[in-house]
């Protein structure tokens, strides 16, 4: 054994106490450029970790990391700069996991392993950390810096199959994240490799849906709880398929998220909502509209600029737009979400946390986000009349919102009993089939102007007040 190895090995073994992995497998197997374990060492470590997980009935998580557009760095700055970037990426990844749980597989591909009964939430948190670390600027040559992004694929053991399939399936998930534009993570899903003929056909049709103008926005009114007046609407996506008829988002949004189509579809929603706001304004209707943002959109650094441009094109006041994000999406990468939401809020756009009560947000994080309203998840509203726990949760959300000076909205209101309870709790706004199902923009305008609607209800007077169009929507503030 060489002298440096006699000194180094005891230190390595000491740092890895508690992992119970045989580190002798890793000796002499380091990647010469990054000094991380190489692919063979990682394979051996993964196999041994899987055996221990089987014995304890625990789970593991494998993350594959691939730098987006890495070839452009070599092309622009040369191979030396590329090697420098890889060394720095390795330096950033190494401390995110236990010793020897990070490896370089090949080229610009890296692997991370989480042991100790890792759950999907742990893997998602680590993936978000990886994305944040990679985004930090890296100096290359002559004082120039580059900003990197990466794609991360996640496979869970044993959920995704035998240990030998972990890396291939994480690779499939990584390819899915890269196909969606990079700078995101994706969990392996069997449909990525075992899509039925029907799903393949549906995906093919979905790719053309925007181009063929088959997507539509339907609008469900929001009700001011104290007065019962309509104050605005939520825009809900529908797909008018030529042979399948009208398809709800639950049937195709997961497919859009896995395939990366959620980004262009999200752009279409922003453009269409802005166009409709302008069209209503021209009809004398000052309607506030809420749109939903996906988790992938929250990782798009140029999202605020895109929304600002759409509002400027329609000369729409940003105060008429609300952006709804689910609690889970906001918590997936809190720092990234906070940056995006702060920029949107600075423009005058309202921010709403949807499905509140189903995620794992802490009060500290909630206070750090520029949130104007919380939406009680419909699962709690559904059981209000029969379940005391549901009533406690709903009441707690209302009290929390009031304490933080936020408005609270309840969705999924379907019965007069639910309506009465939520009003008693002090909800600010209500939404659901009890008042109206989602309808076309023309139908909502007809209800507002001609009082032709599903039931007799008043629209708030402010909806018909003149609006001074903004010729220039403020550009998002910097980080």
- Of 13-22, 332-341, 408-417, the poorest mean pLDDT is in 13-22
Q: 15-193 is classed in which CATH architecture?
A: 2-Layer Sandwich (3.30)
56 class by beta-carbon count within 10 Å (0-12 exposed, 13-18 middle, 19+ buried)? exposed
Overall size of the chain counted in residues: 479
Strand order in the sheet with 109-114: 102-106, 109-114, 60-67, 150-157, 184-187
d(C-alpha 95, C-alpha 92), whole Å: 7
Q: What is the pLDDT of residues 358-412, one digit of tens each?
A: 655 556 667 778 899 999 888 788 889 988 988 998 898 899 888 888 999 999 9
Quote the pTM value: 0.61
Q: How confident is the model at residue 183 (pLDDT cuts 50, 70, 90)?
A: confident
Contacts of 360 (CB under 8 A, 6+ apart): 121, 327, 331
Q: What is the pLDDT of residues 60-81, one digit of tens each?
A: 999 999 998 887 787 777 888 8
Spans of all domains in the chain = 15-193, 198-464
pLDDT computed for residue 218 by the predictor: 96
Mean pLDDT score of the chain: 84
First CA to last CA across the chain, in angstroms?
52
d(C-alpha 470, C-alpha 43), whole Å: 59
Q: What is the pLDDT of residues 73-112, one digit of tens each?
A: 877 778 888 889 999 999 999 999 988 799 998 888 999 9
pLDDT computed for residue 196 by the predictor: 53
- Local structure of 156: helix, strand or coil: strand
Domain 198-464 fold is TIM Barrel (3.20.20)
Q: Are strands 60-67 and 150-157 parallel, antiparallel or unpaired?
A: antiparallel
What φ, ψ does residue 228 adopt, rounded to 5°?
80, 10
- Asked whether residue 302 carries a pLDDT value surpassing 60, the answer given is yes
Query: In the beta sheet, which residues pair with residue 409?
Result: 375, 429
- Asked whether residue 17 carries a pLDDT value surpassing 50, the answer given is no
Across the range 7-17, mean pLDDT stands at: 38
pLDDT computed for residue 9 by the predictor: 38
Q: How confident is the model at residue 6 (pLDDT cuts 50, 70, 90)?
A: very low
Q: How confident is the model at residue 217 (pLDDT cuts 50, 70, 90)?
A: very high
C-alpha distances (whole Å) from 87 to each of 31, 77, 84, 125 are 10, 15, 5, 23
Q: Which run of H or E residues covers position 374?
A: strand 373-376
- Asked whether residue 20 carries a pLDDT value surpassing 50, the answer given is no
- Asked whether residue 430 carries a pLDDT value surpassing 50, the answer given is yes
- CA 295-298-300 angle, to 5 degrees, is 120
d(C-alpha 256, C-alpha 267), whole Å: 13
- Of 146-160, 300-314, 332-346, 424-438, the poorest mean pLDDT is in 332-346
Q: How confident is the model at residue 28 (pLDDT cuts 50, 70, 90)?
A: very low
d(C-alpha 166, C-alpha 60), whole Å: 10
Q: What is the pLDDT of residues 431-459, one digit of tens each?
A: 999 999 999 999 999 999 988 888 888 99
- Asked whether residue 320 carries a pLDDT value surpassing 50, the answer given is yes
- Of 218-227, 232-241, 251-260, 404-413, the poorest mean pLDDT is in 251-260
- Asked whether residue 7 carries a pLDDT value surpassing 50, the answer given is no
pLDDT computed for residue 12 by the predictor: 35
DSSP secondary structure letter of residue 475? P
pLDDT computed for residue 364 by the predictor: 64
């Amino acid at each position: 054994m060489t002298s440096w190895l006699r000194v180094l090995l005891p230190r390595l073994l000491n740092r890895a106490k508690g992992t119970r992995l045989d580190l002798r497998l890793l000796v002499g197997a380091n990647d010469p450029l990054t000094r991380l374990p190489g692919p063979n060492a990682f394979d051996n470590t993964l196999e041994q970790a899987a055996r221990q997980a089987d014995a304890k009935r625990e789970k593991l998580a494998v993350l594959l990391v691939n730098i987006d557009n890495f070839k452009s760095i070599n092309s622009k700055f040369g191979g030396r700069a590329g090697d420098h970037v890889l060394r720095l990426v390795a330096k950033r990844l190494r401390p995110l996991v236990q010793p020897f749980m990070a490896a370089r597989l090949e080229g610009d591909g890296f692997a991370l392993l989480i042991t100790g009964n890792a759950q999907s939430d742990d893997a998602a948190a680590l993936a978000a950390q990886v994305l944040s670390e990679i985004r930090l600027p890296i100096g290359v040559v002559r004082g120039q810096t580059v900003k990197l992004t990466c794609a991360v694929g996640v496979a869970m053991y044993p959920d995704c199959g035998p240990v030998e399939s972990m890396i291939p399936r994480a690779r499939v998930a990584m390819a899915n994240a890269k196909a969606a534009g990079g700078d995101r993570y994706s969990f392996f899903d069997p449909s990525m490799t075992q899509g039925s003929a029907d799903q393949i056909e549906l995906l093919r049709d979905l790719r053309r849906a925007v181009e063929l103008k088959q997507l539509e926005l339907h609008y469900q009114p929001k009700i001011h709880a104290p007065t019962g007046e309509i104050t605005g609407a939520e825009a809900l996506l529908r797909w008018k398929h030529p042979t399948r008829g009208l398809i709800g988002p639950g049937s195709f949004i997961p497919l859009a998220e896995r395939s990366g189509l959620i980004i262009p579809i999200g752009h279409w929603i922003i453009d269409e909502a802005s166009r409709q706001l302008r069209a209503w304004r021209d009809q004398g209707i000052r309607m506030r509209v809420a749109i939903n943002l996906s988790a992938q959109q929250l990782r798009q650094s140029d999202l605020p600029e895109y929304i600002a441009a759409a509002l400027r094109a329609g000369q729409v006041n940003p105060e008429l737009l609300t952006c709804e994000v689910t609690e889970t999406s906001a918590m997936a990468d809190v720092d990234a979400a906070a940056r995006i939401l702060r920029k949107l809020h600075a423009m005058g756009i309202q921010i709403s946390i949807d499905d509140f009560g189903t995620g794992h947000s802490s009060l500290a994080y909630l206070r750090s986000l520029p949130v104007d309203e919380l939406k009680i998840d419909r699962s709690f509203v559904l059981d209000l009349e029969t379940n005391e726990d549901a009533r406690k949760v709903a009441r707690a959300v209302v009290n929390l919102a009031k304490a933080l000076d936020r408005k609270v909205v309840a969705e999924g209101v379907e019965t007069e009993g639910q309506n009465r309870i939520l009003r008693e709790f002090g909800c600010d706004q209500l939404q659901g089939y009890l008042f109206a199902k989602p309808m076309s923009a023309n139908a909502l305008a007809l209800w507002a102007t001609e009082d032709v609607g599903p039931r007799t209800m008043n629209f708030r007077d402010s909806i018909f007040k003149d609006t001074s169009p903004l010729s220039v929507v403020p550009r998002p503030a910097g980080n």
